[in-house]
Structure 1
Amino acid sequence: MAATALSACGSDDGPPTLNWYVNPDGVDTLTALAKSCSTDQYKIAIQLLPSGATDQRTQLARRLAAKDSSTDLMSLDPVFVAEFANANWLEQLPDDVAAKATDDDVLSGAAETVTWDDGVYAFPQWANTQVLWYRKSLAEAAGLDMSQPVTWDQVIDAAADNGGTVGVQANKYEAYVVWINALIQGAGGDIISDNEAGKDAKIDIDSDAGKDAAAVIQKLADSKAAQPDLTTSNEGTSLGQMYAGAGEFMTNWTFVYQNYKGLVDSGDITQDDFSDLGWARYPATVEGEDSRPPIGGIDIGVGAYSKHPDYALEAAACVTSSEAQVDLAVNEGLMPSRTSAYQDPKLTEAYPADLLQLFSQSVEDGGPRPKSAYYATISAAVQSVWHSPTSVNPDTTPEKSAKFLRDVLDGKALL
């Protein structure tokens, strides 16, 4: 806290310092962006947030609720934009700035994350999505044609019948809701609808789509393909399973490619191992229905209580430029939200063309988590009922979670 206060003051004679609160992903490149986007009129200083999205939200919410003027820029998980905008904690982008921040060059899935109540409240910076990563040899042994859409049922059976596993994120945290939401949307449903009604939103999780999602989770939990740490699994736990035994099918974010590529350089895996890595669109919940890949990433918001909102808006535009997005993708594996960035020679040299196409198309076609001022409450309520994945039952879990979520939003139950 003391360090933050000091950095916010700056020199009486020098330009003001804009504090940019960032999550721990890609800090080296973000630090370089802060330096390159600083000007003679202001300097940008990096302030590090906790590693978990929930803890990031808590720290920022406490500062903004206290009208902290030293919170100039902030990196936001897209699901927190609506909540912060609704609380008047974010500077609404002026019309001309908003038009540029969400122009036709921005992938629609990313542009959707920064709007609330007909206003634009943040700049899309990088757009994360999940794809299906797998060992080609495992898919071949199972006889799966990965050039065609595959379902969760097919993936689970293929892994179980051929000595492989399926890697997911099913610990009691935000990424588990990412999986649940993608499964439900892939079956044509939603967790809630009429989102802008706030506490009075319609609860839709108790539906055929909710039951289809629960059936997938139940099948994996009961399958030989489930990894031993299923109930505590996260983005990192299943990475090591890709080259263990027959390997795995794994749904995970875009950083995976650079992660395994780096293991070749360090000698932890061979080039042949890396060549056995495949990728495909996120699995379908229901055969014949298009999947809705998860959308994540980071949006850059400007604090409503900043003493220098004009400078902060200018700085936010700079750190989210197409050039900045290319640097984040090449250096950190954090993929762009702008279409033009995917065509940059530095990016096309760093990634296979079909993988870049898969990333951008997945963001374009992806399914966002519920956009609601009460999203943190919604997420926690879903986690409370759907965890542990070993207890999920399509006949009871969607109904129970719908009732609990309704009671929580109505103030009749506590999380």
Structure 2
Amino acid sequence: MKRIQFARGRRRRAIALASAPLVAATLLSGCGSGGGPPTLTWYILPDNGGSVARAQECADASGGAYQVRIESLPSTATAQREQMVRRLAAGDSSIDVLSLDVVFTAEFANAGFLRPYTAEESARLTAGMLPSPVETGMWDDQLFGAPYKSNAQLLWYRKSEAAAAGVDPTSPTFTWDEMLKAAVGQGKKISTQGQRYEGYMVWINALVLSAGGEVLQDVEAGRNAKPSMASPAGDKAAEIVGNLARSSAAPVDLSNAAEEQARATFQSEEGMFMLNWPYVLAAARSAAEEGTLPQEVVDDIGWARYPRVFPDRPSAPPLGGANLGIGAYSEHPDEAVALVECINAEPKATQYMLDESEPSPYAASYDNPDIRAEYDNADLIRESIAEGGPRPLTPFYTDVAGAITQTWHPPASVTAQTPERTDEFMADVLAGRRLL
């Protein structure tokens, strides 16, 4: 899932690292003397320099035990997966540490591409972390991915428009149906991700989970897992998507909207509500500082927990993030684990949150004074991650997500019959009877 990251501190980091651009590769050396310490290659997800900074600090602190070579992956989750699968399927021993979108950890672990962390390593690497991010790194009761960063979507709203509609989005029982009624009544828009890509899957999965269902049951059964969209939860999710998409509250570009298109609509005169990640507040503040967004728009932005599907059931905010795995063919697994333990320490995760607007998986980060000064919604982000709902943790996630986004797109085509059609198509895809 492609997201553009913003933070007021990122410019300082980018300038400081201008001599180490994320191109083909960046070699970060420690202070050791002769003897040739091993060079560990870390495949990172693109950012504004925060990963390079963490790696440099660890190379320096290693006392010459290792050097770190940075390789930057493509910007989209699909392209990241394709590049890593090709290399690991060929037994590439140069991959020591890799950053993985949370949805791919189970697939890579099941395929034998990752070295599992031992019980002792797992305890050290996850101490102090929120449970939900840790769950995304598990497969077959073992930790294969140590959470590097986490994320959860929030509900964003324009305070003035909510007040005019007489609704309180921060109410614990605020629902999608109430939100739609308020937006239609005010002649405003609800921004979310409706493009046929991972962001749309995030929306659909969150609705189903928030309604008490699952898009896939018995994931341990692999290709024999049971598609379960045809359920009361799936039916309600389809109702919400279809009703919004066919209403006057739907942005004209909903079927092509990703995170940034949603943000643009929300910040326009038409904006009222938006479902998006925490980075959008820092993005708005940066735009105001640069003079490209009126300060009154920033001042009008409010935030709340992801809306409920039913008033009597807490929502399951969409859970995102990335995990760090050890390549199964690495020639330096012990040093690679040491690198992961260093770059994943809580202080570095906290600093990364400040520099990159990427939430930390550590509970303690949200009590840090600097975080609380930068993030007025720190407690809400921590709560949303802690109670967030993951996408299916299955080795066949690509097939599952592809089947769902294909049958649910465009959003305006979603009807009461869509969940059942999805289950049939997903079952055929998992069984190899049909192709995406």
- Please indicate the TM-score interval, normalised by the length of the shorter structure: over 0.9
Please say if residues 306 and 317 of structure 2, whose CA atoms lie closer than 8 Å, have aligned partners that are also in contact.
yes
Aligned residues: 407
* 1:344-403 Cα distance to aligned partner (Å, 9 max, x none): 122112111xx1111111111111000111111111111121111111112x10000000
In structure 1, what is the Cα distance between the partners aligned to 2:39 and 2:268? 48
In structure 1, what is the Cα distance between the partners aligned to 2:351 and 2:251? 35
Counterpart of 1:383? Answer: 405
* 1:158-192 Cα distance to aligned partner (Å, 9 max, x none): 11211211111111111111110000011110011
Counterpart of 1:117? Answer: 140
TM superposition shift of 1:4: 5.9
Counterpart of 1:331? Answer: 355
Please say if residues 429 and 435 of structure 2, whose CA atoms lie closer than 8 Å, have aligned partners that are also in contact.
yes
Question: What is the aligned counterpart of 2:305 among 281, 294, 302?
Answer: 281
Counterpart of 1:397? Answer: 418
Counterpart of 1:189? Answer: 213
Counterpart of 1:409? Answer: 430
SS at match of 2:70: strand
Alignment of 1:173 with 2:197, yes or no, is yes
* 1:274-331 Cα distance to aligned partner (Å, 9 max, x none): 1111000101122322110000011111111111111111111111111111111111
Counterpart of 1:146? Answer: 169
Counterpart of 2:244? Answer: 220
Normalization by structure 1: what TM-score? 0.94
Question: What is the aligned counterpart of 1:99 among 118, 123, 129?
Answer: 123
SS at match of 1:237: helix
SS at match of 2:65: coil
Partner AA of 1:129 in structure 2: A
Q: 1:292 to 1:179 in 2, by over 3 A?
A: same
SS at match of 1:166: strand
SS at match of 2:84: helix
Q: How do residues 205-216 of structure 1 correspond to structure 2 at under 5 angstroms?
A: 205-216=229-240
Q: How do residues 265-344 of structure 1 correspond to structure 2 at under 5 angstroms?
A: 265-344=289-368
Partner AA of 1:323 in structure 2: P
**What runs of 5+ residues in structure 2 fail to find an aligned partner?**
1-22
Please say if residues 167 and 226 of structure 1, whose CA atoms lie closer than 8 Å, have aligned partners that are also in contact.
yes
In structure 1, what is the Cα distance between the partners aligned to 2:24 and 2:278? 32
* 1:50-109 Cα distance to aligned partner (Å, 9 max, x none): 111111111111111111011111111111111111111111111111012223x21111
Partner AA of 1:270 in structure 2: P
SS at match of 2:164: helix
In structure 2, what is the Cα distance between the partners aligned to 1:247 and 1:229? 13
Counterpart of 2:12? Answer: none
Partner AA of 1:37 in structure 2: C
TM superposition shift of 1:201: 0.9
Normalization by structure 2: what TM-score? 0.90
SS at match of 2:350: helix
Q: 1:253 to 1:82 in 2, by over 3 A?
A: same
Counterpart of 2:369? Answer: 345
Please say if residues 122 and 301 of structure 1, whose CA atoms lie closer than 8 Å, have aligned partners that are also in contact.
yes
SS at match of 1:127: strand
TM superposition shift of 1:199: 0.7
Partner AA of 1:47 in structure 2: E
In structure 1, what is the Cα distance between the partners aligned to 2:223 and 2:34? 46
Q: 1:409 to 1:12 in 2, by over 3 A?
A: farther
Please say if residues 165 and 227 of structure 1, whose CA atoms lie closer than 8 Å, have aligned partners that are also in contact.
yes
TM superposition shift of 1:234: 0.3
Q: 1:243 to 1:27 in 2, by over 3 A?
A: closer
Please say if residues 257 and 333 of structure 1, whose CA atoms lie closer than 8 Å, have aligned partners that are also in contact.
no
Partner AA of 2:197 in structure 1: Y
In structure 2, what is the Cα distance between the partners aligned to 1:45 and 1:160? 52
**What runs of 5+ residues in structure 1 fail to find an aligned partner?**
none
TM superposition shift of 1:6: 10
In structure 1, what is the Cα distance between the partners aligned to 2:132 and 2:88? 27
TM superposition shift of 1:5: 9.0
SS at match of 2:129: coil
Identity of matched residues, %: 40
TM superposition shift of 1:146: 2.5
Please say if residues 162 and 246 of structure 1, whose CA atoms lie closer than 8 Å, have aligned partners that are also in contact.
no
Please say if residues 25 and 72 of structure 2, whose CA atoms lie closer than 8 Å, have aligned partners that are also in contact.
no
Question: What is the aligned counterpart of 2:149 among 116, 119, 126?
Answer: 126
Q: 1:44 to 1:7 in 2, by over 3 A?
A: closer
SS at match of 1:27: coil
Counterpart of 2:227? Answer: 203
SS at match of 1:57: helix
Counterpart of 1:373? Answer: 395
In structure 1, what is the Cα distance between the partners aligned to 2:158 and 2:40? 45
Counterpart of 1:361? Answer: 383
